[in-house]
Structure 1
């Protein structure tokens, strides 16, 4: 009986050891991940292991997991920029870049060997700062505000090309934050106010010029009218005066006909209210 229990104990121990060996020989790769196999005798294997359950040699091989999904990262950068108007000293520009990145699956062994598992911490801040400073140097401070879309596109193109040398893919690059120092912001506001005042002054000058031209034209018209009347009087003699009397009489008759207290119109020269002959 004792031998039977001893045999059962040995069998159980063997099964436990065997289960432990089998369990250590299996590993799982989750969705969106891939694994690189490190062999103690042959180093990092070139083949990349995809999703699912796989076998390895226990105590000889070790899987290193990599997340191959797009991940966001915000990289803040402070760089100097020449102002576009006085004073002309350097102005600090605070820029924050948002990056969606992922590694190239086929280059995971090289990334692990040359950079390490924390490749994003080692690569992205340095190349982002390098590219941003190079691009910002091509624009003055005002252009960074007015041509922000062009700046963002240029940063995206240069940074994508730079990241590809490290085996990284950038799915999206965008400028999420761009600010200047307090002094520069105040200078921009002062410049805008000065431009608005200049526009207002120009409008006032143009308006005065228009009024001046209108006055000149009106005076010329009055002078021409007076000249024409004088010439008519010289040519027509009393005929023009008689015409003006008739026009005045017609106007007076019209006004009297509308008055409430007048029931008839006087005849004769009284209609002209004793106008001088």
Structure 2
């Protein structure tokens, strides 16, 4: 019986030690995924100054705690309605990420006062007011009608030439 108690105690002890070892090993290594960065909070010294990039790193369990941040650039959609020079209402949509040189220079100065860093700006949508859209459509319809009339005139001229040629052929016979 004493032998059985020693065996059970040894089994329990080895199980506990194995569990603690497995817990420590699994919590010692951590991965920082792409597009993320990590900082480490140490219970003794506070936040460490090092920022950990993508990859696998080591942390001391319980003593250090990992904080992971998403640092991917995410686009921000901006929509605005304003008037053009000819007083037509224009609705414009921008996707802000990498800015062209001229726009970048102007926007960085403005955004810096709000602690915003811009990487890109792209126009994602541009719509005009109803009156302007109808005017453009009317102009396109008028242009198509003019082309159709031009075609009818050219066809009439070809028919005229054809009739003259037929008449000349008939006259010569």
- The TM-score range, normalised by the shorter chain, is 0.5 to 0.7
Contact residue 37 and residue 62 of structure 1 kept, 8 A: yes
Alignment of 1:1-277 (within 5 A): 1-2=3-4, 3-40=6-43, 42-68=45-71, 71=73, 73-81=75-83, 83-85=84-86, 92-100=89-97, 154-162=102-110, 166=115, 168=117, 170=119, 172-186=120-134, 189=136
Q: TM-score, normalised by structure 1?
A: 0.39
Gaps of 5+ in 2: 144-173
Question: What is the aligned residue count?
Answer: 136
C-alpha distance in 2 between matches for 1:164 and 1:45:
27
- Write out per-residue CA displacement over residues 79-138 of structure 1, whole angstroms, 9 at most, x where no aligned residue: 333x433xx5xx65322222336xxxxxxxxxxxxxxxxxxxxxxxxxxxxxxxxxxxxx
Conserved? CA contact 1:38–1:63, under 8 Å: yes
Return the alpha-carbon distance in structure 2 between the equivalents of residues 24 and 52 of structure 1: 15
* Between structures 1 and 2, the one with greater strand share: 2
Instruction: Decide whether the 8 Å contact of 2:30 with 2:57 is kept in 1.
Output: yes
Bigger radius of gyration among the two? 1
What's the counterpart of residue 168 of structure 2? none
Q: CA RMSD in A?
A: 3.6
Considering fraction of residues, name the structure with more helix: 1
